[in-house]
């Protein structure tokens, strides 16, 4: 039987993004490709980060803590490598002034670092003045779909094996009894 889907499979170009966190050892200069962060609650279980599944989430039931993370596409200055940045709420909040000023984060240049030089040290983001030429950047990718792929919650061939989770994750609103860590609600 054919398995129909309403969206095309991920473009292969979207698989070329590598997921990174702020490096501990040295600052990294990037140009943002995404226009806005995409945030969701996540759990760190079994050695990896996975999204909270909302109502009925097994990690929640097992008592695992959750944290809000933002994801956005960027290009590393110099190497031009395309990456998805995973940012804490505290880090994503530092992007809000630029988002307010430019109405988009796309083509905004940032310096990302952990001043304490520790893997889980606080992240500091320094925003360069102005914006870079936008036409030099790759098109904005679909971060939500790319993250589903990275988390293994999609099927790489959506047209042949649509994932049960696929559309649920894109639309589900996460509520945790009013608890909101570190002002994620201020993000657009």
Q: Is 146 in the site for Zn ion (CB under 5 A)?
A: no
Only one of the segments 11-19, 53-61, 93-101, 109-117 lies at the binding site for Zn ion (rule: CB under 5 A); that segment is 53-61
Kindly tell me which of 64 and 124 has the beta carbon lying closer to Zn ion: 64
Name 171's Cβ contacts closer than 8 Å, sequence gap at least 6. none
Name 95's Cβ contacts closer than 8 Å, sequence gap at least 6. 37, 87, 105, 108, 110, 125, 127
Shortest reach from residue 66's CB to Zn ion, in Å? 5
Q: Is 57 in the site for Zn ion (CB under 5 A)?
A: yes
What sign has the CA pseudo-torsion 170, 37, 49, 159? positive
What is the residue whose two structure tokens read 């609103």?
Answer: 173
Q: Is 59 in the site for Zn ion (CB under 5 A)?
A: yes
Total residues binding Zn ion (CB under 5 A): 4
Tell which positions 23-52 bind Zn ion, by CB under 5 A: 52
Kindly tell me which of 64 and 131 has the beta carbon lying closer to Zn ion: 64
Q: Give, in order, the Cα–Cα distances in Å from 179 to each of 41, 55, 175.
A: 12, 15, 8
Q: Is 153 in the site for Zn ion (CB under 5 A)?
A: no
The answer to whether 36 and 188 are in contact (CB under 8 A) is: yes
Binding site for Zn ion (CB under 5 A): 52, 57, 59-60
């Amino acid at each position: 039987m054919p398995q129909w889907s309403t969206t095309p499979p991920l473009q292969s170009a979207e698989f070329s993004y590598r997921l990174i966190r702020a490096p501990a050892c040295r600052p990294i200069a990037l140009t943002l490709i995404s226009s806005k962060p995409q945030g969701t609650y996540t759990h760190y279980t079994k050695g990896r980060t996975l999204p909270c599944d909302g109502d009925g989430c097994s990690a929640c039931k097992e008592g695992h803590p959750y944290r809000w993370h933002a994801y956005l596409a960027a290009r590393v200055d110099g190497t031009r490598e395309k990456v998805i940045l995973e940012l804490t709420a505290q880090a994503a909040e530092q992007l809000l002034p630029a988002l307010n000023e430019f109405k988009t984060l796309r083509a905004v240049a940032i310096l990302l670092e952990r001043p304490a030089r520790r893997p889980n040290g606080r992240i500091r983001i320094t925003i360069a003045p102005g914006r870079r030429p936008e036409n030099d950047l790759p098109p904005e990718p679909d971060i939500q779909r790319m993250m589903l792929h990275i988390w293994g919650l999609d099927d790489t061939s959506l047209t042949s094996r649509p994932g049960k989770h696929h559309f649920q994750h894109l639309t589900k609103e996460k509520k945790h009894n009013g608890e909101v860590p570190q002002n994620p609600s201020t993000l657009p």
